[in-house]
Amino acid sequence: MKTTRIIPLEKPIDAAVSIPGSKSYTNRALLMAALVGKNVRIKNPLFSDDTKAMIDCLQTLGIKVAPKVDSLEVVGDITSVDDTSYDLNAHLSGTTIRFILALSSVVAGVKTIRGEGRLNERPIGDLVDALRQLGAKIEYLEKEGFPPLRISSSKLTPGNITMNGSVSSQFLSSILMIAPMIGEVNIEVIGEQISKPYIDMTIDSMKQFGANVEIKNSSTYTVPAGQKYNINEYVVEGDASSASYFFAIAALTQSRVMLKNMNPKSVQADMGFLKILADMGNEVEYGDNEITIQGRGIKPVDVNMQDCPDQVQTLASLSACVPGITHIAGVGSLRVKETERVAALERELAKMGIRSESTPDTMTIYGGYPKPAVIDTYWDHRMAMAFSVLGTKLKGMEIRNPQVVTKTFPDFWEKLGEIGIKTSASERDPNIVLIGMRGSGKTTVARLLAKRLGKRCEDIDSLIAKKAGMSIKKIVEKFGWDHFRDLESDMIREVSEQNGAVISTGGGIITRSENIEAVKKNGLCIFLRATLEVLLSRMAEDDSHRPALTTGTTPKEEMEKMLAERAGLYEAAADETIDTETDPPESAVEKIVAKLRERGVVKK
């Protein structure tokens, strides 16, 4: 597995960097260019995984998209595609699957649309329901409300629709952009419309392409009939999402950074993050196609980020570095993104010793003095970039699977280098460390997991016994528990230097903090949890070779005492927790593998 270590700045910097084109504007421009009916040049586009997914889908439908050095040439007319079958793959791009679904409803043929990985777990039902109100024929191929889907309609009828705005702004954007192909369309948004600035971006793009949208009462949108997209060239402005990480670095390190290729009057949602930093006291200057920030530090804040949810991870990571309480509202949509972003943030902040809490739509971070950590990205580009910001201040920060940034910002690491931030890349396969009480199944599960993943299996107790030339029981009887714990700590330090092993530990390793620190340097801790009754039952089956745990008079008393002392330690050390009390070991293995995939530790 690849990792990237960020080298902290020795002093504040004064630097400039050019920001790539906006992903959101690029994908909107690609879709509308396909509806123009003549050649369209898109200048300063973003070349990334997400925009490539959009291009691939358009090309599958017969639209030619030719990449140039700093532009894209879109050739063809989507309204004249062949009436045949199309298999469209949006890969991991949420923008693409939603935009292409709407587009597929107004072009000929039978279109099957699917994504990869978590994209097929992200809800799309509200968009389907809205399109069906205009006559779209769409069916779910697997789970109701989620991709993959089949679309057999090729024409929609003008009319009125209502749609839910609380899940994604891209649903509304999708219908707005295809509306000129339909006739007059009136859309009433029911409930709260999240991420409204993204709707403003869509309307701004449509206007530049020659189509207007009328807004009534902030929740009703009308696209009048008789409009047609007509443009020869479109220029994509710089990406505020990409710029935000450099704004954050400037604020955190009190540096001065100029961001070139930025529209100071942009309506992009993530410009809201710049206002949050300015409210903290950071100084922002707006120039001609550039924005400069003079960092003055970070302060705790109480903000609602519903309109710029992609910046929650960046603000949360910054908040870890300042003593005080930061409260962020409007985070509900993060739970259906590339990963369950709120849960991912809580896990990674906990690694750094930072406490956080959340409700369905809020997150609270208790900032202070974070410890460096190896950050899991969960295949989420924004997790990688947000936590890399901390590496400019905190020595020892590493990012696993740094290549995930290609989704939206392929040259992110190179851009850091341009402003003087050094990084060090390496290839390292983390250890999988099983922790838990005696009888929780660590030894059995470790062997099966190692076989399942094609890794080595290391058992700490077996290694100690082999090195000492006697069983663990005899070591304890002859030398006592303190001596055994010393041997255990020595062995843990030795084994933790390995890469790519599955390690089964003794139940008491968590009683010494240095043990957990050692295994976590290059490992993930999986807590195998079982109830007292299950643990006692398993111990009764095979306990002859085990030393007594305490001075309790019965095994039950011993286990009760241990659980009382250790339960909190296991939970604090655990990166993931797996219940092993009812399922067979093979099921526990598959649950662990699923968790590792989610974190990006093993391939999907």
281 is in an annotated binding site: no
Backbone CA torsion sign across 109, 145, 310, 178: positive
C-alpha torsion angle, residues 251, 255, 258, 262 (rounded to 10): -10
Compute the distance between CA of residue 252 and CA of residue 93 in angstroms, rounded to an integer: 30
439 is in an annotated binding site: yes
28 is in an annotated binding site: yes
> Which is the catalytic residue, given 50, 126, 307, 310?
310
Side chain identity, residue 55 = I
HEC profile of 542-600: CCCCCCCCCCCCCHHHHHHHHHHHHHHHHHHHCCEEEECCCCCHHHHHHHHHHHHHHHC
382 is in an annotated binding site: yes
544 is in an annotated binding site: no
Cα separation values, 509 from 370, 430, 450, Å: 24, 19, 21
Residue 601 Ramachandran class (φ > 0 left, ψ -120 to 50 alpha, else beta): alpha
Residue 423: burial class (beta carbons within 10 Å; 0-12, 13-18, 19+): middle
254 is in an annotated binding site: no
Backbone CA torsion sign across 510, 513, 517, 518: negative
94 is in an annotated binding site: yes
168 is in an annotated binding site: yes
26 is in an annotated binding site: no
43 is in an annotated binding site: no
Compute the distance between CA of residue 252 and CA of residue 439 in angstroms, rounded to an integer: 47
Of 180, 201, 193, whose CA–CA distance to 32 is shortest? 180
441 is in an annotated binding site: yes
337 is in an annotated binding site: yes
Residues 73 and 144: beta-carbon distance below 8 Å? no
Strands 220-223 and 14-18: unpaired
Instruction: Name the maximum alpha-carbon separation found in the chain.
Output: 92
Beta bridge partners of 457: 502
Residue 19: burial class (beta carbons within 10 Å; 0-12, 13-18, 19+): buried
Compute the distance between CA of residue 167 and CA of residue 128 in angstroms, rounded to an integer: 13
486 is in an annotated binding site: no
Compute the distance between CA of residue 50 and CA of residue 399 in angstroms, rounded to an integer: 21
**Per-residue b or e along 111-139, where b marks 16 or more CB atoms closer than 10 Å to that residue's CB:** bbbbbeebbbebebebbbbbbebbebebe
Could you tell me the two tokens for 266?
């942009």
Compute the distance between CA of residue 159 and CA of residue 179 in angstroms, rounded to an integer: 10
Of 223, 192, 226, 191, whose CA–CA distance to 207 is shortest? 223
513 is in an annotated binding site: no
Cα separation values, 377 from 296, 331, 403, Å: 29, 18, 10
122 is in an annotated binding site: yes
Beta bridge partners of 294: 256, 283
Beta bridge partners of 459: 504
443 is in an annotated binding site: yes
407 is in an annotated binding site: yes
Supply the DSSP string of 37-100, one letter for each residue. Answer: SS-EEEES---SHHHHHHHHHHHHTT-EEEE-SSEEEEES-GGG--SSEEEEE-TT-HHHHHHH
| Residue 310 is a catalytic residue | yes
**Annotated binding-site positions:** 23-24, 28, 94, 122, 168-170, 195, 310, 337, 341, 382, 407, 439-444, 461, 485, 507, 546, 566
- Show binding-site residues for 3-phosphoshikimate: 23-24, 28, 168-170, 195, 310, 337
| Residue numbering of the annotated binding site for substrate | 461, 485, 507, 566
Residues at the binding site for phosphoenolpyruvate are 23, 94, 122, 170, 341, 382, 407
Q: Which residues are annotated as a binding site for ATP?
A: 439-444, 546
Which residues belong to the annotated binding site for Mg(2+)? 443
Catalytic site residues?
Answer: 310
